[in-house]
Structure 1
Amino acid sequence: MQPPQQPVLRDIVLVGGGHTHVGVLKRFAMNPEPGVRLTLICRDTHTPYSGMLPGYIAGHYSYDEVHIDLRRLAEHAGARFFRDEAVGIDHEARRVLCRSRPSVPYDWMSINIGSTPHVEAVSGAGEHAIPVKPIHRFNDRWQSLLHRLEAHPGRTRVAVVGGGAGGVELLLAMQYRLSRELTARGRDPDELSFSLFTRGEKLLATHNPRVRARFQRILARRGVEVHTAIEVVDVEAQRLQTADGTWHPADEIVWVTNAGGAPWLRDTRLSLDDAGFIEVGDTLQTPSDPRIFAAGDIAHQLGFPREKAGVFAVRQGRPLADNLRAAVTGRPLTPYRPQAKWLALITTGGPHAVASRGWLCLAGDWVWRWKDWIDRGFMAKFNDLPAMEEPSGGAAKSSRVVLNEEENTQAASALAMRCGGCGAKVGASVLSRALATLDPVAREEVKVGLHAPDDAAVVRVPPGKDMVHSIDFFRAFIDDPYVFGKIAANHALGDIFAMGAEAQTATAVATVPQGLEAKVEDTVHQMMCGAVEVLDAAGCALVGGHTGEGGELALGFAVNGLIDADPDSDSGPLTKGGLRPGQALILTKPIGTGTLFAAHARLQARGRWIDAALASMCQSSRQAADCLREHGATACTDLTGFGLLGHLVEMTRPAGVDAEIDLAALPLLEGAEETVAAGILSSLQPANVRLRRAIHDPARWHGHPRYPLLFDPQTAGGLLAGVPAERAEDCLAALQALGYAQAALVGRVIAPGEALEPIHLKD
């Protein structure tokens, strides 16, 4: 993440990662608005381009070729990416309610979440049919269908419900792909049969008769059974019923109709049409709340009803970006009128397509190549991201954001020369409001804490216990303060768990970039919400802390833990020096966070790689520590900045043993090997590499693709422990059952040799 160049004065929140919003992000990336912060809230990191989805189904494109990486695009645009799902709106407080994180404040908001299948309108459809909308969820269902086909011997009957261009195009793409899958497996493609159902009297009703006639011929030639002017009224396992009472057999049922607005919109005060879509005016604002815009399939533009087609969502990108920019800077908004006619390029499964516009009908392989060229060019705008030049004037550019009198006073304060010392503390009222809704876990040993704030916390040490102290602090490496708070707390707790201790209390220290009080307050609130969730889950009471202004967001904790004072107790400390020859070395989490986030900062990491890394860092090591102890671990440490090799050396030296690491067995985060191979390394890597002298014959391993990852610094990494060899397999099985899916046996402890280097590698 890049630190802000000036205080944030206004927030624009984009809900959903549809085609319109990717256009908005791109335009703000090209020309940032000073003082304006964009936040994208979306459940999925990779959003599909609807125009290429049939080509993906048919097998012409890979997954990455048809998906826009929203996390990378947001980073490129200087926007925050919150991977979550909106479930409501608090209009009075101007906050977006989210499914699994604190609500997010907005000054202006736009909704571009596509349509939602209303399969509940037909009995059994929700349980037995595969809805195509929303398309970002369709891939998992499509992959499952492919696996079922592979395992299903004999005849397979596929029914598609929906006779528009989307249904016809999808059916032909599925038929093309599945036929080739059967042929590749030595099976007869005639095992497949397809049927199409539509309540309309005509297929492709919004297209001209020549286009409709051409597709009717294609469907007939390919043996597709077409049922028009008939409605599906019931769906059961492996069959569906039409309005005439006839049951039709179908092993797979794909639903490409009856889509509407998301159900949660009904609980807002937004004006909706009969299908649940958000009504918007000429400026794409909702008449019920001018601070909220909507675009794409979720929007119904009053006075200009149009088909739900991707072309309109794409075309709305520029006017929506311009009007959001105008709204936030106090300028007049510009009306937008969608075109009455549009070009549709409809594929037929193979590399062949039909062009339809008004009365135009053109077809051929050349049309498919034309469409392919257009689609690839569109995707390149969002996935091929060059380094952006700093806008004219840079950080010195004055903000045009319109503020009221009170906000102008706050903005002047935020932009003024800042004091140091205690003058740099975050204001008491801001801090108290930010922490007011937090409810840290209570412990009876805490005599004075946040429940009765004083100059310092007072905590009793229970009889028979020793205190374990640790501290960690680092700057933010992602733009989501809530997730950052969770990771910072997990990272700090790792040392306590590695010692085999119980976390008791924590004291926080944070720095927050200067800005309007409301913006600072929300950042602190989001960050501490994430942190307290993790601390509470660990039974660790937050008892105090310090928050001050700084150049960038940062957070750390001083954590106290408890452990049995009796040195002979089975629940005494697990020190680094307890390794014994013959033990197995177990690592509880994959490695690779250093190289991945170095790549993320350069826009060279895929969003799903970062998602997986964040999920790993958000996973607590508490249960892993208990499991390792239960299986006889005598030494343990958590992997952090020194990397796997650095922390292993810290274990072997005091124990007076050597260790062997199996490079092939190292669990890696997805993408880590690719980013290391591209030469993208953490800034701490060179310092860690100096420890290569601890490796026996390092020159032999220098070219191994996993060798650099021995030095990769970790954030909130896993635990590395020595476990009796005879209990290692049971320990691994128990760890994996607890959710540490990539826990692995990565090496063994060996008796010290004559060589000075304690670490031996193998592959």
Structure 2
Amino acid sequence: MNPAGPLLLAGGGHSHALILKRWAMDPTRRPARPVLLINRCSSALYSGMVPALIAGIDPPEAAAINLRSLCDRAGVGFVQAEITGLDPGQRCLLLAERPPLRFGLISLDVGAISRPSAEGIAIKPLEPALAFIASEDPNSTNPFTVVGAGAAAMEVVLALRRRWPHRPLRLQTRSNGPGPLERRILLEALIDLVTTPEPTGGPWLLCTGSRAPIWLAASGLPVDGDGRLRTNAQLQVEGNEHIFASGDCAVMAAAPRPASGVWAVRAAIPLAWNLEASCLDRPLRPWRPQRQALQLIGDQQGRAWARWGRWQLGPSGWLWQWKRRIDRRFMAGFRSSEPMTASEPMACRGCAAKLPAQPLAAALEQAGLTGAPEDAARIEGDPPLLQSVDGFPALVSDPWLNGRLTTLHACSDLWACGVRVDSAQAIVTLPVLEAAEQQELLVQTLCGVRSVLEEQQAQLIGGHTLESRSEPPHCPSLGVQLSLCVNGRSAAPWSKGGIAHGDVLLLSRPLGTGVLFAAAMAGACQPEALDTVLQHMSRSQHRLLDQLEPHRQAIHACTDVTGFGLLGHLGEMLASSSPLRITLWTNRIPAYPEAMDRLAQGYASSLAPANRRSWQWLDGLIQLDDSPSQALLELLVDPQTCGPLLLACTETTAQTLTAEGPWIPIGNATADHG
């Protein structure tokens, strides 16, 4: 019987991608336990379209499977992290720069890497190899050499010929490597064939076979000579019934097959069935793969040839068209058949889940809690204690990252006061799950919290846990709710009010988190754009206080831009300052990549409609120096999670801070003469 605990899908290879597609199409098949996919990138390249990507025929997004979006549709958590090892005895997956993930069951589809060599750049991992190719001069007279004897080397060098029509190209291979057909195709493409083993001049790209990641063999699991995990017919690693493996990192001991995307695709359904059966303690089914597979190899010039063992056909145009149809159909299967539209908003998470400003203000007034809002409460002492409370429903399905983001967001209230955080307490509400699964969610969440506090030499000094009484979501990690009380001390904290005539307004990072997460929920955000946003959001801004400390007296007001958007929080600053007029420089308002495009298409956070009340400031004390687009108006009220600091300082200080970075000047203040 399999123990309780999450099911981890380690790696975003073709087998796992197809399993996610299966669960997205039929959620009843997904195991009734937490499932997490762990991959170093938020997208995975489909190997069948990599040559066309290298050739420049297809854009990168055409060959990329959006793993984050696919996980969302499948009800599976997504963790973007580098896998560094596996401890079978402790049942935990080791990750770089974060705590290990424990599991009840695990499936490994982590791909392969090129065999190490003292010369050249390896084709695997693909991402650095593609960056290397992109950096090369297409018009160079320096020959570029592809090394390898298999179909991959042929496809890559022919793709490079399409990409670089005039650059000298060479294929270095064994003397008995290419057959007559391949030699003729190389000759027609003006690619030199080199069969001597001696190194040639110029850059090299190695397509010389692959091996599994070294950490698999280091785990003590049974592997073959190439470090691939040995499995039985049920795709379980030999001697380890709770560990499954598929794709290029594994080999079926009784029916070995070459490392190929073909076998990873074919293994997906047998692997899915056995993972589902294992979670239900049902008998597993053996898989009997066919001995050979048809290969379609394209020359990237409109022709392809077919290979089945020693039999070959082509090259011909119709085989090329057939291959292209197969590849496009495969990729189309990963796109949602029922995409959401901009007119179908979902309730947003993170700080966009906060109560709108109007009912909040009305409720506080009725409760007798009036006064100018500040980012942190001041408790008298020597020095005074500054305290703030913040939290929200899980923004992302990675519990460690969610713990980190929520803590960064909560700490930002104190940073906006110029105060360093020295301690915090946390309240964690967990979904109703098995005890082992709740424990793992709590461990990951608290480790994410501590990762932020330890960077600041602050402590987590206490907290409280609760169990939700609501039905857990399909992805249980999205059922975690975290709130924090953060503390710090300062004799002279900054306030929101105090903007002075002549001050310059500075932002510490771009805007657009709200719309990008809303677009991502609708399947309308490229994974690279969301990656960029998360990289900024997960970076602590506490080090900015070191930069600002020498200018403390020249900083007249500061806040952080969060749920009410730039206009809402700037309005709060103005309401607490002497009569002023703010001019915002339209072309200087920074936005994350894709944010303006998505706003122009009508995507918006579910809190944005309420925030639009802040546009009324533009009819009075806040002016724009140029006519704004509708997208810019929406950006000004876009709710931010882990948003920028917004400060007002003297012009001289603004020049210094802008030169040092990362500060962006967005406007200035002048006296309001009424």
**What secondary structure sits across from 2:444 in the alignment?**
helix
**How far off is 1:135 after superposition?**
2.2
**CA drift at 1:629:** 4.2
What is the 5 A alignment of 1:332-731?
Answer: 332-358=283-309, 359-386=311-338, 464-550=382-468, 551=470, 552-564=479-491, 572-631=492-551, 632-655=554-577, 656-696=579-619, 703-731=629-657
Q: Which residue of 2 aligns with 1:160?
A: 146
Q: What's 2:17 paired with?
A: 22
Q: Choose which of 227, 230, 237 in structure 1 pairs with 2:194.
A: 227
- Rounded to whole Å, the distance in 1 between the matches of 2:664 and 2:661 is 9
CA contact (8 A) 2:277 2:284 kept: yes
CA contact (8 A) 1:76 1:603 kept: no
Match of 1:201 in 2: 176
Q: Would you say the 8 A contact 1:14–1:111 is kept in 2?
A: yes
Q: CA deviation at 1:258?
A: 3.8
SS state at 1:201 partner: coil
Find 2:263's aligned residue among 284, 309, 312.
312
Measured in 2, the distance between the counterparts of 1:678 and 1:589 equals 23
How big is the shift at 1:702? 6.9
After superposition, give the CA deviation of every residue in 1:619-653 in whole Å (9 maximum; x if it has no partner): 22212233234343221101111110011111122
Any conservation in 2 of the 1:41–1:81 contact (CA below 8 Å)?
Answer: yes
> Could you say if the C-alpha distance between residues 154 and 642 of structure 1 is closer, same or farther in structure 2, counting changes exceeding 3 Å?
closer
1:600 Cα deviation from its structure 2 partner: 2.3
2:505–2:667 CA contact under 8 A, matched in 1: yes
SS of residue paired to 1:622: coil
| Aligned residues of 2:108 and 2:246 also touching (Cα < 8 A) | yes
- Secondary structure of 2:302 counterpart: strand
User: How far has the Cα of 1:34 moved from its partner?
Assistant: 5.1
Given residue 614 of structure 2, which amino acid in structure 1 is its aligned partner?
Answer: L
Q: How many angstroms does 1:524 deviate by?
A: 0.8
The answer to whether the Cα contact below 8 Å between 1:72 and 1:606 also exists between their aligned partners in 2 is no
Between 626-635 and 477-486, the greater mean CA deviation after superposition: 626-635
In 1, distance between residues paired with 2:386 and 2:665? 28
Query: Shift of residue 248 of structure 1?
Result: 2.3
Shift of 1:62: 0.2
Give the residue type in structure 1 aligned to 2:170.
S
Out of 122, 132, 137, the position equivalent to 2:123 is 132
Secondary structure, in 3 states, of the residue corresponding to 1:14? Answer: strand
Say whether residues 1:69 and 2:66 are aligned partners: yes
Q: Is the contact between residue 44 and residue 67 of structure 2 (CA under 8 Å) also seen in structure 1? A: yes
* Secondary structure of 2:242 counterpart: strand
Letter in 1 for 2:97: S
Whole-Å Cα distance in 2 between the matches of residues 75 and 709 of structure 1? 25
The farther-off stretch of 355-364 and 511-520 is: 355-364
Alpha-carbon shift at residue 704 of structure 1 (Å): 2.9
3-state SS of the aligned residue for 2:511? coil
What corresponds to 1:399 in structure 2? Answer: none
Q: Is the 8 A contact 1:628 1:723 kept in 2?
A: no
Code of the aligned partner of 1:323 = N
Secondary structure, aligned partner of 2:387 = strand
The answer to whether the Cα contact below 8 Å between 2:10 and 2:39 also exists between their aligned partners in 1 is: yes
Distance 2:422 2:105 in 1: 42
1:387 to partner: Cα distance: 6.1
Q: Is the 1:279–1:300 contact (alpha carbons within 8 Å) kept by the matching residues of 2?
A: yes
Other structure's SS at 1:473 match: strand
Q: Secondary structure at the match of 2:555?
A: coil
Q: Secondary structure at the match of 2:164?
A: helix
Structure 2, gaps ≥5 residues long: 341-378, 471-478
Q: Whole-Å Cα distance in 2 between the matches of residues 477 and 463 of structure 1? A: 36
1:267-315 C-alpha deviation (Å, 9 max, x unpaired): 1121110111111111111113121111111111123222222111111
Q: For residue 186 of structure 2, what is the amino acid of its counterpart?
A: L
Aligned counterpart, 2:345:
none
TM-score normalised by the chain length of structure 1: 0.78
CA distance in 2, matches of 1:45, 1:753: 53
The letter of the residue matching 1:718 is P
Once residues 306 and 136 of structure 1 are traced to their aligned partners in structure 2, the CA distance between those partners, rounded to angstroms, is 25
Asked if 1 retains the 8 angstrom alpha-carbon contact of 2:85 and 2:95, the reply is yes
Note the aligned Cα RMSD (angstroms): 2.1
Cα shift readout 1:663-719 (whole Å, capped 9, x = no counterpart): 321111222122222322112112211111110389995743221011111111110
* Structure 2 SS opposite 1:706: helix
Deviations 1:436-462 (A, max 9, x none): xxxxxxxxxxxxxxxxxxxxxxxxx99
1:596 Cα deviation after fit: 1.5
> Contact 1:466/1:562 (CA < 8 Å) preserved in 2?
yes
Q: 1:216 aligns with which of 183, 186, 189?
A: 183
The correspondence for 2:229, drawn from 272, 278, 282, is 278
Q: Partners of 1:352 and 1:679 in 2: how far apart?
A: 42
Displacement after TM superposition at 1:527 (Å) = 0.4
CA distance 1:717–1:530, shift in 2 (3 Å): same
Amino acid across the alignment from 1:201: N
Partner amino acid, structure 1, of 2:517? F
Structure 1 counterpart of 2:355: none
Q: How many residues align?
A: 616
Q: Match of 1:39?
A: 36
SS in 2 for 1:508: strand
Q: For each residue in 1:534-566, what CA deviation from the matched residue of structure 2 results, as whole angstroms up to 9, or x when unmatched?
A: 0121232211111101233111111121102xx
Aligned counterparts of 2:436 and 2:655: Cα–Cα separation in 1: 52
Give 1:160 deviation, angstroms.
0.9
Q: Residue 224 of structure 2 aligns to a residue in which SS?
A: coil
Counterpart among 154, 178, 183 of residue 164 in structure 2:
178
CA contact (8 A) 1:28 1:321 kept: no
Separation in structure 2 between the aligned mates of residue 462 and residue 753 of structure 1, nearest angstrom:
37
Q: Determine the C-alpha separation between the residues in 2 that align with 1:305 and 1:22.
A: 22
| CA 1:485–1:296: 2 relative to 1, 3 Å | same
| Closer/same/farther in 2, CA of residues 199 and 51 from structure 1, 3 Å limit | same
| 1:649 alignment partner, SS class | helix
* Contact kept? 1:701, 1:707, Cα under 8 Å: no
Matched residue, 1:408 = none
Question: Which residue type is aligned with residue 165 of structure 1?
Answer: A
CA contact (8 A) 1:624 1:735 kept: no
Compared CA separation, residues 154 and 75, structure 1 to 2 (3 A):
closer
Q: Is the 8 A contact 2:6 2:103 kept in 1?
A: yes
**What are the ranges of 5 or more consecutive residues in structure 1 without an aligned counterpart?**
1-7, 180-188, 204-211, 232-241, 389-460, 565-571, 737-742, 755-763
Residues 172-218 of structure 1: CA deviation (Å, up to 9, x unaligned): 11121112xxxxxxxxx2xx222212236222xxxxxxxx3222112
- Name the TM-score, length of structure 2 as normaliser: 0.88
Change in Cα spacing, 1:95 to 1:651, as seen in structure 2 (3 Å) is same
